[in-house]
Structure 1
């Protein structure tokens, strides 16, 4: 990661100059500290988010007005309580953090904040925080995103039923970790999930009619899905699709004038 992309390694006059540039954009990677089964590390989501945004920023042209904050390593993970090592912040604290940091950045003149999230359990929370921040600062573009959602071709690489049922520490996450940091992956390949049965007919774990499921409802190991077929080759394919997809999205964002500034103020 080159120095000029990291706000934390810049001096305050450099930050002031960066914020004043048209389209100035800050990316804030979000992870979590939560169980990922007996075979993956607690900081799995954090590692994915940070490695991915660094890869994207390194591939963007050097003259583009985009920088990143340090990783937010603790997130909202109450569904994984009961497994040693999980640390979960209260929802209201995480929302307050996003609003406070966004207000500070906007005060310096930055025009966009991207919440680059690696943890599926806080997608809706960060969307709520982003909406609250944007409503108080209409001129600041706030874009909450989940690293696994958006890039084309991801779903096609994961066969059913794992595509629908591999919700946590299963085929996709284990394969990606085998590609990025194989030394952090234990030899076990658990198959677990839905141990307490499925939701009632017409309801789902996630999707159109979701439940606020807890990991203990479904799994004794912390894995929700099947990690047995995980391999580094699949991880490499996932990494390529993720990198290409997010590179294209950041290129599009940086070439745009979002958010619009020539509209009447909201009433």
Structure 2
């Protein structure tokens, strides 16, 4: 019996090479590459927190998309760029140039196979800018491949509504949101501690912040003794379930809209589908 690319999986590593060729040849063929990190997340969360979030939430997002949509995923990239956390044992961080080179090499090979879009689905806030650089360099080298660097927590609407201040703006790492989401996705990996640490005792000058429009290149040890930057004391599986629901629904809608469009402009896909 002839094998087709519709084998009931969206994981590229589970396809035979003729199935992958068929998948890549479909109009608008898109690959999502989830990125995490291997870094301390306080005394209560595992080192692979960001990778677990990107991996499991992406699976849930893809499960809910119509089967006919031409979208597949790569295995999660577990090691990332985390120099801000190297003051805590257990953190493993790749050099920036190595991670960028990985994006260039793998992206070029996906383009060679015929895929038209690559979405970098990133769960680690400390490498947002780095993945944007890698995406830009890959696009310059392979203009036929659309490259879209995305951050897990900043795409869908309504995430901030679930968090009150100051946690909404200051809970940057292993705080209320991440601890709650882990309690929902993998409660067996969550320790009993609920630290509150790293919150600013003095407000920055007007217009400045740790992250935002005018950010600082902070190190975790500048702020925290536990590795936590935020307040995890109110974490709950109930909040985690609400965060999961909004993240999954938001990304599902975003990817479905992307696949139904000729976005982004200028790529071979976009140019080929414009009237």
The answer to whether structure 1 residue 96 and structure 2 residue 101 are counterparts is yes
Match runs of 1:43-58 below 5 Å? 43-58=48-63
Q: RMSD over aligned Cα, in angstroms? A: 1.6
1:137 to 132, 136, 142: 142
2:156 to 151, 157, 165: 151
The answer to whether structure 1 residue 203 and structure 2 residue 208 are counterparts is yes
CA separation in 1, counterparts of 2:204 and 2:225?
17
CA separation in 2, counterparts of 1:225 and 1:163?
9
Report the Cα offset of residue 3 of structure 1: 5.0
Match runs of 1:202-221 below 5 Å? 202-221=207-226
Gaps of 5+ in 2: 1-6
CA separation in 2, counterparts of 1:196 and 1:77?
25
Residue 181 of structure 1 aligns with which residue?
186
Answer whether contact 1:26 1:67 (CA < 8 A) is retained: yes
Residue 25 of structure 2 aligns with which residue?
20
Gaps of 5+ in 1: none
Residue 249 of structure 2 aligns with which residue?
244
The answer to whether structure 1 residue 67 and structure 2 residue 60 are counterparts is no
CA separation in 1, counterparts of 2:23 and 2:214?
44
CA distances 1:135-177 after superposition (whole Å, capped 9, x unpaired): 2222211010000001111001000000010000000000000
CA separation in 2, counterparts of 1:202 and 1:27?
35
CA separation in 2, counterparts of 1:3 and 1:51?
18
Residue 118 of structure 2 aligns with which residue?
113
Q: Give the structure-1-normalised TM-score.
A: 0.95
Residue 3 of structure 2 aligns with which residue?
none
CA distances 1:204-246 after superposition (whole Å, capped 9, x unpaired): 1111211000000000000001000111111000000001100
CA separation in 1, counterparts of 2:195 and 2:185?
20
Report the Cα offset of residue 9 of structure 1: 1.0
CA separation in 2, counterparts of 1:215 and 1:169?
11
Q: Give the structure-2-normalised TM-score.
A: 0.92
CA separation in 2, counterparts of 1:131 and 1:37?
33
The answer to whether structure 1 residue 230 and structure 2 residue 230 are counterparts is no
